[in-house]
Structure 1
C-alpha cells in the first residue's frame, strides 16, 4: 500500500482553513506542515485547528522537518514567484493558488521554468470543480441541451458595498485590479472548461462603490470555440438574496434543444422547447462550495501518482490569464480584442490583439 504523499502548505490567510479542511478529505496525501510569515500566532492556531503537526515561519526549517513530497502555495499572487522558484530549485511539485502570478508575463515565465526543469506546477483552480459546473458539463456533452449557443454567468456575491466592504477579505478594497483579476479568472477558466477556447472578448468595467479602488462591476462577452457566446455579468456592489451564496450567483446555458438554469443554491432546472420544465437532481458533495476544493486537490494528487491528468497545469492556465488580460485591454480601449496564439512552455497560449 502506498504511503500518503507528505505536503507542506505555505500561507495561513482566509482560504488556508478551507484548503486544509479539503486536504483532510483527499485520498493519498496529508499536510504535515504549515508555514506563514506575518503572524506566528495565527499560523499556530490555523495549524492546530487543522491537526497539522508542524507550524512556523521559517520555510527552510519546515523543509528539513517535514521532508515534503509537494508544496502547496496558499499566499497572495505577488509571493508566488519566489515560492515556485524555491520549489523548482528542489525538484518539488507545486500546487499554487490562482492567479498564478501578478502578470501574464510572470506567469508564463514560471510555467516555462517548471516545464524546463520537469517539475509539476499546477494551479489550484477549484471553481471548475464545483459540482453544478461538472454536472452542466456532463449534460452538455451528452447532448441534453442540443448545441449550446448563449450562456450567462451572473455573479452576485453581495459582499462589496459600504465603507468596509469584503469583510472576509478586506484587502480586496485596495486592489487596483479586482473583479476580473481576483474572481473573474475563475469564470474564464470555467468557461474554457465548459465550452473550449475563448477567441475574442469585449468587456466593460466600472467602480460602483467609492470605497473600492479597482473595478467591482464587469460585463465581459466571451466568444468561445465550442459554446457560442458567454456573458460574464459580475457585480460585487449589488444587493444579493444571499451574501456569498453557494454558487455565488446564477447561470443559464441556452441550447438549441433546451435551457439549463442553475440557481444560487446549486439547484438545476431544464426547460425544453416543448414547454416541459423539470428539476434536474444530482449530488452536491459536502465541503466548501460542494467539495470543489477537495476535488481540485484530489486531481493534483492523482496526477502526481500518474492516475489522472492535471486539469489546470500552469502552462495551460496562462491561457486563462491571457484572456483576463484581454478583457482589461478591451475595457481600456472600448474595442473587442481577438485572442491570438503564442507558445509558452511547449503549449499554445493566447495573447490579445485589438480588432478594428
Structure 2
C-alpha cells in the first residue's frame, strides 16, 4: 500500500516528538520539513531522515507531492498556513491550540469545510492510556451513574524552561494545558451546559494566567470541576499526569499518581496500574504524553485514509469554545450558559 506523504511545518520542541510518533506507524512518511529558520529545519531533518528542507512554506507546497501537512508552529501562524494548504487541496493536521482566538478557530474550520479537505487537531491527552482505561471502566457501569467529577492538572513543573515562548502569552494556562484538560472532560463526560471560571497569575515573571478553575454543569446533569495550575508546589509532583476522580451512584473511580486507577464499590477497592508504552525517543518526564501522541496520530491516520477519527477540527472547536467561554466567565465574573 502506498504511503501517505506529508510535510511538517515547524521544527521546534514538539516536532521532535510528533515526527517519531508518525514514524511508529505504517503507511505514512514525512518527506519535507519547513521552518522559517532553515538551520532548525536542517537539524530536525538530519535527526529523523527527512529528505527535503525549506524555509518557505509556499516553496514547499509548490515543489512537494503531498497528501497532507502537519502544522506544528505557534498558534498565530496556524490559520494562514492551514488556509494555504487547504487552497492547494491538502488535508491538514494541526497542533493545539487550533488558533489564538475563537473567531480564528471558527474561520479555520469553515475554510477547511469549504475547500473540502480533512482537518484534524493533534489533541493527544484524551489518548493517554490511563484516561482511556478510566473511560472504559466508567462506561462499564461498575460505579453506576456518574454524578460528580474532578479533573486536575496542578504542578510546579518548570514548563517555561523548555517552552520559553509560553511566558510571553497573554492567555496562558487555559489555552495551553486547559485545551487538553477541557478536552479530557468532554471525552469522559460529554458536553457542558454551563460553566463558571476563575483565573489568577501567581508567577509574576509571565504575562498570562497560570492558575484556572472551571466548574461545569454537563448536559447529562453531572458536575465537573476542572482545575489547572503551574504554580502548585504539592507534596507529590504529578506532572505530566491528569488526575481524575469520578463519583457514581454505586461507587467511585480515582486515577491517582503513578498511573494507578482505583475502583471502589460496596465490595471494596481494586487498584490497577495503567502504565503508558515507553518509546526510545520519548522523554521519560513526558512518557504518558509522548505515548499518547502515537495513539492520537494512529487515529488521525485512520481519518486521513477515510475512516472515522475522534479529534476532527469540528469536534475540537467545541473544546476551543470551552476555553474562550472560560476566559469570558473569568473576565466578567459570571456564569456562562452554553448553547
TM-score by length of 1: 0.88
- How does 1:17-36 map onto structure 2 within 5 Å? 17-36=16-35
Q: Say whether the 8 Å CA contact 2:153–2:181 is kept in structure 1.
A: no
Q: Which residue number in structure 1 is paired with residue 298 of structure 2?
A: 298
Q: Say whether the 8 Å CA contact 1:112–1:315 is kept in structure 2.
A: no
User: In 2, Cα distance between the equivalents of 1:281 and 1:155?
Assistant: 19
Q: Which residue number in structure 1 is paired with residue 252 of structure 2?
A: 259
2:161 pairs with 1:167: yes
Q: Say whether the 8 Å CA contact 2:11–2:44 is kept in structure 1.
A: yes
Describe the superposition over 1:70-126 as per-residue Cα deviations: whole angstroms up to 9, x where unpaired. 100001110001111111111000000111111111111111111122110111111
Q: Say whether the 8 Å CA contact 1:201–1:222 is kept in structure 2.
A: yes
SS of the counterpart of 1:179? coil
Q: Which residue number in structure 1 is paired with residue 13 of structure 2?
A: 14
Q: Which residue number in structure 2 is paired with residue 277 of structure 1?
A: 269
Describe the superposition over 1:167-198 as per-residue Cα deviations: whole angstroms up to 9, x where unpaired. 01111112111111111011111111111111
User: In 2, Cα distance between the equivalents of 1:19 and 1:264?
Assistant: 25
TM-score by length of 2: 0.92
SS of the counterpart of 2:258? coil
2:204 pairs with 1:210: yes
SS of the counterpart of 2:59? helix
Q: Say whether the 8 Å CA contact 1:32–1:52 is kept in structure 2.
A: yes
Instruction: Tell me the CA shift for residue 159 of structure 1.
Output: 2.3
Moved more, 86-95 or 323-332: 323-332
Q: Which residue number in structure 2 is paired with residue 197 of structure 1?
A: 191
Q: Which residue number in structure 2 is paired with residue 347 of structure 1?
A: none
Moved more, 221-230 or 208-217: 221-230
Q: Say whether the 8 Å CA contact 2:156–2:237 is kept in structure 1.
A: yes
Q: Which residue number in structure 2 is paired with residue 343 of structure 1?
A: none
SS of the counterpart of 2:170? coil
SS of the counterpart of 2:338? strand
User: In 2, Cα distance between the equivalents of 1:289 and 1:32?
Assistant: 27
RMSD after superposition: 1.8
Residues 1:292 and 1:11: Cα distance change in structure 2 (over 3 Å): same
- How does 1:30-109 map onto structure 2 within 5 Å? 30-37=29-36, 39-109=37-107
User: In 2, Cα distance between the equivalents of 1:109 and 1:54?
Assistant: 31
Describe the superposition over 1:203-250 as per-residue Cα deviations: whole angstroms up to 9, x where unpaired. 111111111211111111011123711111112011145667341x42
SS of the counterpart of 1:32? strand
User: In 2, Cα distance between the equivalents of 1:320 and 1:331?
Assistant: 17
The runs of at least 4 consecutive aligned structure 1 residues that moved more than 4 Å come to 240-244
Residues 1:244 and 1:70: Cα distance change in structure 2 (over 3 Å): farther
Q: Say whether the 8 Å CA contact 2:177–2:228 is kept in structure 1.
A: no
Q: Which residue number in structure 2 is paired with residue 178 of structure 1?
A: 172
SS of the counterpart of 1:33? strand
- List alignment gaps of at least 5 residues for structure 1: 341-356
Structure with the larger helix share: 2
